[in-house]
Amino acid sequence: MTNLFLPLVADVTGNVNDPVNFTFFIGCMAMMAASAFFFLSLSQFDKKWRSSVLVSGLITFIAAVHYWYMRDAAMAGALENVTAFRYVDWILTVPLMCVEFYLILKVAGATKSLLNKMILLSVVMLVTGYIGESGGDAVIWGTISGLAYFAIAYEIWLGGAAKLAKEAGGDVLHAHKILCWFVLVGWAIYPVGYMAGTEGWYGAAGLFFGMELDMQVLYNIADAINKIGFGLVIYSLAVKKTS
C-alpha cells in the first residue's frame, strides 16, 4: 500500500510540464503567497474585521500545506493519495469558507443557526462526494453531494443569508453578492471535475464538453480561484470598513 503521509520533500521524478503537476506547483506557491499577505495585513484592520481576514489566511495556509503534499504525490504517480489529501483539505477549508458568510453577516444579526446550517451542508457535500469518488456509487453519492451544494447556493442567494445581506446593505451586501457568485460559478467546477473523474452517467461530462477533462487540473484551478478570491473579497471589505 502506498504510504499516505509522504515526506515533506519535493519529488521531481515526474514531468513538471504535465498540466496536473504544473498546476499543483502553481497552486502551492499561490496559496503560500496569499497566506503571507493575509496574515501580515491583520494589524491594519479594526478588531471586529480581523477574524474574517484571519480565516481567509487560514484557508489558504491549510490549502498550501496540502498542495505541498499533493504535488509530491502527483509527481510520484500516487493519484489515490492526491484524492485523499484533497478531501482532507476541503473538509477543513470549505466549512471555513462558509464561516466567512457568517462573519461578515454578523453586523446584520447573523446567528449560530446560520453558521451551523452552512457548515453541516458543506460537510455533507464533501463526505458524500468523497464516498462517490473513492469507490462508492458515483451517481447516488454524487447526487446527494450536489443537493447539498444547491442547498448552500439557495441559502446564500435566496434564503436567510441573502435576507441578512440585504439588511446590512452597502459594502457588506456588495461583498456578499461577490461571494455568492464564487459559490455559484467557482464552486461549480468541483461537480464538473467530479463528473469527469467518476464512472457511470457522470462520466458523460467529458463528452458533453467535447474533450477529455482532467479533474485534477479543474480542481486545482477551482481552488486557486475560490480560496484566494474569497480571501481578497473579505480583505477588500475589511479595508473599506476600517477606512
Q: Which whole-number Å values give the CA distances from 170 to 120, 158, 160, in the listed order?
A: 29, 18, 18
Of 21-25, 141-145, 190-194, 221-225, least confident by mean pLDDT is: 190-194
Identify whether the C-beta of residue 224 lies closer than 8 Å to the C-beta of residue 26: yes
Q: Residue 26 is placed in which grid cell? A: 502553481
Task: Output the CA angle 82-84-102, nearest 5 degrees.
Answer: 110
Identify whether the C-beta of residue 234 lies closer than 8 Å to the C-beta of residue 56: yes
Q: What is the mean pLDDT of residues 83-100?
A: 94
Residue that the C-alpha cell 466549512 belongs to? 95
Residue-wise pLDDT tens digits, 40-74: 999 999 888 999 999 999 999 999 999 999 988 88
**Which structural domains are found in the chain, ordered by start?**
19-242 (1.20.1070.10)
Identify whether the C-beta of residue 19 lies closer than 8 Å to the C-beta of residue 75: no
